[in-house]
């Protein structure tokens, strides 16, 4: 029987959803039974042996629905294999350096400490000006944020592959 894995995510404009889809594909390719779902569509964690949870990051915070998912499922996640990822920083270079050492939302650190995830990754994100509202555009212009798709698919695939190997 294949191990059943949940790849749950929270996205605003779809970039994190695309990362989650790729991770799910790699897990399936690794011989695992992976379901890829937005966090607000996950009803029950019991069928899953492992959970990969990812969220888009804005101003150092996860999407509210991802934070709620982590908080409300903490007791079940403690007993599962868990991996966490964030997507967000735009630009060239190490995403953790671009985030000034940020790896995970400070408010969620106590939960992560109790869950003991195998890894917490930070992936580059994508900024598509066509999808942003006027306030977001003003903010990005003010901080001179790089615009474009900075996702490093090789890094994402390698991370997902390592999860598949750990679970086989």
What is the pTM for the complete model shown?
Answer: 0.92
Q: Are 141 and 149 in contact (CB under 8 A)?
A: no
Cα–Cα distance between 128 and 130 in angstroms, integer? Answer: 5
Q: Where are the domains of the chain?
A: 4-167
Secondary structure class of 48 (helix, strand, coil): coil
Q: What is the dihedral of CA 13, 106, 47, 44, to 10 degrees?
A: -70
Q: Are 63 and 12 in contact (CB under 8 A)?
A: yes
Question: Residues 51-107: pLDDT tens digits?
Answer: 999 999 987 899 999 999 999 999 999 999 999 999 987 788 888 887 877 789 999
* CATH number attached to the domain at 4-167: 3.40.50.360
**DSSP-derived pairing of the beta strands 61-62 and 50-58:** antiparallel
Of 50, 10, 48, which is closest to residue 160 (Cα–Cα)? 50
Cα–Cα distance between 118 and 114 in angstroms, integer? Answer: 12
Range from 28-37, 65-74, 84-93, 117-126 carrying the lowest mean pLDDT:
84-93
């Amino acid at each position: 029987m294949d191990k059943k894995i949940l790849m749950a995510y929270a996205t605003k404009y779809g970039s994190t959803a695309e990362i989650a889809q790729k991770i799910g594909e790699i897990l399936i390719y690794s011989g695992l039974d992976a379901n890829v779902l937005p966090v607000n569509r996950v009803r029950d964690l019991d069928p899953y042996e492992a959970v990969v949870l990812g969220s888009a990051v804005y101003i150092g915070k996860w999407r509210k629905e991802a934070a709620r998912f982590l908080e409300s499922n903490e007791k079940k996640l403690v007993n599962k294999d868990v991996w966490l990822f964030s997507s967000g920083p735009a630009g060239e270079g190490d995403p953790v350096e671009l985030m000034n050492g940020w790896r995970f939302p400070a408010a969620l650190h106590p939960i992560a400490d109790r869950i003991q995830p195998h890894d917490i990754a930070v992936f580059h994100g994508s900024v598509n000006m066509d999808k942003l509202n006027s306030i977001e555009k003003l903010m990005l212009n003010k901080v001179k944020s790089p615009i474009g798709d900075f996702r490093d698919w090789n890094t994402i695939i390698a991370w997902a592959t390592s999860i598949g190997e750990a679970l086989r």
